[in-house]
Structure 1
Amino acid sequence: MSTISPRSSPRSSPRPEPQAGRGGFGRLLRAEWTKFRTVRGWVVALTAAALVTVLLGLLSASSNHASCGAGPVEVACPPPPTGPDGEAVDDKFYFVHRPLAGDGGITVRLTSMTGKIRKPDVTPGVRNEVAGLVPWAKAGVMIKESTEQGSAYAAVMMTGAHGVRMQHNFTRDMAGRPGGVSPRSPRWLRLTRAGDTLTGYESADGTHWTEIGTAALAGLPATVQIGLFATSPGDLTVTQGDLGGSVAAARFTEATGEFDQVELQGNASGAWRNDDIGVTVAPDGAEHHPGRAGRSGGTFSVTGVGDIAPAIEGPTPERPLSSALTGLILVIVVAVMFITAEYRHGLIRITLLAGPRRGRTLAAKALALGLVTFAAALPATAITFTVGGRILRDNGNAVLPVSGLTQVRIVVGMAALFALAAVLALALGALLRRSVAAVITAIAVIVVPHVLATTSVLPDSAAQWLLRLTPAAGFATQQSIPQYGHVLGHYAPIAGFYPLPPWAGLAVLAGYTALALGLAVLRLRRRDA
């Protein structure tokens, strides 16, 4: 492994300043900053780490192209619809509805809920479908701002395996009573509107009602759409890959709700209208897996395909930051050399004479390195994230949108990860006092676990534990799309999902850094070299 060493000339050797230790911590900090900037190799290498992060990130983004068919012409893939809070959403369902002017509500009895699930074909050419419902299949009542995808809504529904729920604006979910539904054990569902407040209820007998929850949908228009709906997300299966990782696949499903005793309250005029919201249309104009509805007297049958939930699949904005690993390795090398060079050249005793309080001296060195690394990494990650994302979109990729606050958290968090990793590598250098050993150890505990966890090497459970228990947990700070309890997904590192929240993962890295720095101080107090 190649290492970076200071040049032997007076211009490039670290110059301890004995007078710095006789003052306060600020003088120690300035002394360490002076040491760093006077060694040209360190400055060049840190600059190279920032440039490598940017250049490789932009190159990776430039190589990612996507297009969607529109007849004989390939066009950029359309962006996903966005919900009221700006997140990407799936908004695909079959809706039987009428306009509601002002306050009002809907009450129905759901007598059954059935479905179909596509399975791998056993006989070639014979479509293999089985009866059943996926856990988050949905059928129930809804009030929606409009039939436009992504518009505000609230719904009370029966699910395939999670009982009665009230959901609104895609990301909010409230649980009602568990259990299922059948002709012998029907469920009554009710949803009412009073101004901008929507309230959901359920009942086992249509007489005694239990409130599930309320939703405040600010800015609802005077006239909204009210009615019955059904939808069913894909059947997700995760199998073990040939190399030890996992492979996820989702197959077609549909759900059918049977409703009767449909009662509307308020000014819900006009005829019932059927709309297949978000149905996929083929280039020839045919609808792919359309939903449907039927009515016989006061009984409604509604069949839907799709989901009403946050979108978690698709290109994510942090994708260009995959180049950070290469830049991080360069940072680790520089950080180790910042301490081991003093041992190799016998300058550590001079440094300790300048700062007799050895813990403060090492802390000043760590803080100086952390600050300069953060200052170099912040613009690098900002440019890579912003420009790389723009390149992805220009190349036809439908990048999932995230809030401005999430974007800031990713950029600042990745810069903090660089800084903490540098300080951890410095502490390992102070502990081991050998450049090669310290660099290898730092890469082994920071970089290697992340590579193993995010490639097709380990089972999902092993990958998740690796990113909980090692310093590589800090990479969770780059995750942009959160996990949702009411959305079935392949929540694994290989799919870009980390087992810890962003700041919790960064805290694990910070904890390892503090521990290693504490052990380095103890050793430094016992022995100079």
Structure 2
Amino acid sequence: MNAFAKTLRAEWTKFRTVRGWVIGTVTAAGVIMALGLLPGLQGSCGKHGPGSECVLPVGPGGEEVTDSFAFVHQPLAGDGSITVRVTALTGLLPGPNPDEPRPGVVPWAKAGLIVKAGTGQGSSYAAVMVTGDHGVRMQHDYTHDIAGSPSAVTATAPRWLRLTRTGDTVTGAESVDGSSWTTVGIARPAGLPATVEVGLFVTSPQYAEEVNESLMSGAMGGPSQATGTFDHLAPQGGWTGAAWQRDSIGASSNGPAIRDSGFVRDGDVFRVTGSGDIAPAVPGAAGTGASVTQTLVGTFVGLIVVVVVGAMFVTAEYRRGLIRTTLTASPGRIRVLAAKAVVVGAVTFAAGLIAAAVVVVLGQRVLRSNGVYVHPASTPAELRIVAGTAALLAVAAILALGLGSLLRRSVTAVTTAVVVIVLPYLLAMTVLPTDAAQWLLRVSPAAAFALQQAAPEYPQVANLYTPPNGYFPLPPWAGFAVLAGWTALALGAAAVMLRRRDA
């Protein structure tokens, strides 16, 4: 232990006395802070005076939600059920001209039956529905989703739906003929009052599609609209007998040019048109605003700098012939390599920790001052992002050190380190098709960028879940494990070769 402490002290002395390594580390931290705090994304939240602030409703679980839909409803006191047949689900998508939408239905367009605590946004609910491309679903309280039959609704294959409330329990069922029923799901929405609002609903979320299948090539889209056609509407139980009332919850008529009134009743047939979604709110092309991840755009540039410092920390000694002096003063070669790894990792971690903390705290303020809505992250998530960014930089620097020890030549080592660590991220973000990019971000050291993900992905929410929008294909610590594995492999190989080769 004494010997390692002396070696560690010697390596630290080397690092702090070489101006280029110190400047490089400071530069990496400075770049991360500068790019995170410079004005970047622009938005309109709060930019048009009082009332223009962006405020999202909060669901029963405390999460931000989207709660926007067309609602045809009556009060239900106590227990009861409602049955309907859905005969069609059609829609409109954004076209090249905003005033000329094109026919189409987004995959998560929804039409069906809903029981809701009230008409206020964010109130608890349970719903059974048909969707554009995901069959029948039972959803409740925004984050819960249960799959029913996968069949789509057509004129020749309508779908019967039933929603039954019994106390605090809501049961969703489906049928192909209105006689034989299959339970889709059972839900217990949080805090349903004795009298709830129950009826038909239709909504259609933001439409977005990738351009040229590249993660950084952008997206096109906009609000969409859906129309559900219903008949055989049959309420039973504690209904008040009030007339059917139509509401646009959350001002849901934000779709492309609406061609009808939004609610048309022709005898037994109801046609309801709506736009929006009932789901968790997410950042991204098909969502709202940005996440904390967007403040750390400078990490990529900082990573290049620390990779160069990490590789040069060992190759500089080979270039100048000083490695012989080092190994003479500290005969334990593995001990020298370990001490270098500890020093470059600790210094880089400290610099990255300071930079990430500054950016995560102040970068959100910059985005909000630019009118960008920033989804708040929990304190544990922010701490993980800050510490994870520092760990990403530190372990990448150690990986570059291992490559430098293996290759010995500065230019070769730095080039290889950049190709192995940095290039995969650049290719995934700018060049490769989505599937190839996602694969590369699973197997390369760039997988560790997943440590910066701030927003969860929801299967029932359509969005472009790509790195430019703050999403990565692996969970945070799984991505870090990939980088750690590469680093262990490089250091292990460097240790073996260091013992076998002459200085």
TM-score normalised by length of structure 2: 0.87
Q: Does 1:67 align with 2:56?
A: no
Query: Are 1:91 and 1:307, in contact at CA under 8 Å, matched by a contact in 2?
Result: yes
CA distances 1:187-219 after superposition (whole Å, capped 9, x unpaired): 332333445443322233444433222333333
1:225 paired to 2:204: no
C-alpha separation between the residues in 2 aligned to 1:398 and 1:269? 43
User: Are 2:121 and 1:149 aligned?
Assistant: yes
Does 2:334 align with 1:359? yes
Secondary structure at 1:80 match in 2 = coil
Aligned pairs for 1:94-133 within 5 A = 94-102=70-78, 104-118=79-93, 120=95, 127=100, 129-130=102-103, 132-133=104-105
What is the deviation of 1:35?
A: 4.1
Shift of 1:508: 1.8
How far is 1:322 from its partner?
0.5
Q: Does 1:301 pair with 2:271?
A: yes
Say whether the 8 Å CA contact 2:400–2:417 is kept in structure 1: yes
Change in CA separation of 1:432 and 1:345 when aligned onto 2, cut-off 3 Å:
same
CA spacing shift, 1:143–1:352, aligned 2, 3 Å = farther
Give aligned pairs, total.
Answer: 497
SS at match of 1:97: strand
Q: CA deviation at 1:415?
A: 1.4
Structure 2 distance, partners of 1:308, 1:242, is 29
Any conservation in 1 of the 2:223–2:276 contact (CA below 8 Å)?
Answer: no
Shift of residue 29, structure 1, vs aligned partner: 4.4
Aligned residue type for 2:148:
G
Q: After alignment, is 323-332 or 153-162 more displaced? A: 323-332
Instruction: Please state how far the C-alpha of 1:426 moved relative to its aligned partner.
Output: 0.8
Change (3 A) 1:411 1:51: same
Q: Name the residue aligned to 1:9.
A: none
- Measure, in 1, the Cα distance between the counterparts of 2:67 and 2:344: 48
Counterpart CA distance in 2 for 1:196 and 1:119 is 40
RMSD: 3.3
Q: Counterpart of 1:54?
A: 33
Relative distance call for 1:291 and 1:413 in structure 2 (3 A) is farther
8 Å CA contact retained: 1:230, 1:304: yes
| DSSP 3-state at the match of 1:318 | helix
Per-residue CA deviation, residues 386-409 of structure 1 (Å, 9 max, x unaligned), is 110012112221123333333222
Counterparts of 1:243 and 1:178, CA distance in 2: 29
Q: Cα distance, 1:339 vs. partner?
A: 1.7
- Aligned with 1:488 (options 433, 442, 462): 462
Q: Give 1:505 shift.
A: 2.1
Give the Å deviation of 1:281: 7.9
Does structure 1 conserve the Cα–Cα contact (< 8 Å) formed by 2:114 and 2:128?
Answer: yes
Alignment-derived partner of residue 484 in structure 2? 510
Q: What SS does structure 1 have at the residue aligned with 2:211?
A: strand
Once the two structures are superposed, what CA deviation does each residue of 1:364-416 show, in whole Å capped at 9, x if it has no partner? 33133223322221121011011100121122211233333332222222111
Cα gap change, 1:503 to 1:296, in 2 (>3 Å): same
Task: State the Cα distance separating 1:138 from its structure 2 match.
Answer: 0.9
In 1, Cα distance between equivalents of 2:51 and 2:429? 31
TM-score by length of 1: 0.83
1:276 maps to 248
Does the 8 Å contact 1:454/1:496 carry over to 2? Answer: no
Among residues 315, 332, 350, which one is paired with 1:340 in the alignment?
Answer: 315
Cα distance, 1:176 vs structure 2: 0.7
- Within the candidate set 245, 251, 254, 2:226 is matched to 254
Q: How much does 1:112 deviate? A: 0.6
SS at match of 1:473: helix
Q: Percent identity over the alignment?
A: 52
| Residue 372 of structure 1: aligned partner | 347
Distance verdict in 2 for CA 1:405–1:227, change over 3 Å = farther
Counterpart residue number, 1:13 = none
Please say if residues 101 and 268 of structure 1, whose CA atoms lie closer than 8 Å, have aligned partners that are also in contact: yes
